[in-house]
Homo-oligomer: A and B are copies of this chain.
Amino acid sequence: MKNVAHLIGLKDLSKEQIIQLLERAEYWAARPTEQADILRGRFVANLFFEASTRTRFSFEVAQKRLGAHVLNFIPETSSTVKGETVYDTIRTLEAMGVEAAVIRTKKEGLLQELAESVDLKLINAGDGTNEHPTQCLLDLLTMKRQFGKLSGLTVAIIGDLRHSRVLGSHLHALPKLGVNLLLAGPATMMPAQIPQGVKIVEMEEAVQTADVVMMLRVQLERHADSLYLSKEEYHKAHGLTLERAKMMKSGAVIMHPAPVNRGVEIHTDLVECETSLIQTQVTNGVAARMAVLETLLKGSEMTWESSLATATY
Contact = CB atoms under 8 A, between A and B. Distances in A.
A16 interface: no
Contacts of A53: 73, 78-80, 84, 89, 92
23 contacts: A33-B41, A33-B97, A35-B40, A43-B61, A51-B76, A51-B77, A53-B78, A53-B89, A57-B92, A57-B96, A58-B96, A61-B69, A61-B71, A64-B69, A65-B69, A74-B74, A74-B77, A76-B76, A83-B261, A88-B259, A91-B279, A95-B282, A95-B283
A277 to B, nearest CB: 11
A219 to B, nearest CB: 9
Contact of A92 (B42, B43, B54, B261): B54
A33 B285 CA distance: 29
Query: Interface residue tally of chain A, by bracket?
Result: 35 or more
A114 B286 CA distance: 24
How many copies of this chain?
A: 3
B282 A92 contact: yes
A60 interface: yes
Given A71-B57, A259-B84, A260-B88, A52 B77 contact: yes
Contacts of A33: 41-42, 97
A282 B79 CA distance: 14
A104 B91 CA distance: 23
A93 interface: yes
Given A43-B64, A88-B260, A95-B279, 4 more contacts: A52-B79, A61-B97, A76-B77, A97-B283
A31 to B, nearest CB: 11
A92 B51 contact: no
Contacts of A77: 48, 51-52, 56, 74, 76
A89 to B, nearest CB: 6
A95 B48 CA distance: 21
Nearest to A84: B259
A5 interface: no
Interface of A: 32-35, 40-43, 45, 48, 51-54, 56-58, 60-61, 64-65, 69, 71, 73-74, 76-84, 88-89, 91-98, 258-261, 272, 279-280, 282-283, 285-286
Contacts of A285: 96
Contacts of A82: 51, 259
Given A41-B33, A58-B96, A79 B283 contact: no
Nearest to A60: B71
Residue of A69, A93, A95, A286 ringed by the most chain B CB atoms within 10 A: A95
Given A43-B61, A51-B79, A64-B69, A96 B259 contact: no
Which 9 pairs from chain A and chain B are nearest by CB?
Answer: A35-B41, A95-B282, A53-B79, A84-B259, A53-B78, A64-B69, A95-B279, A79-B259, A95-B283
Contacts of A283: 95-97
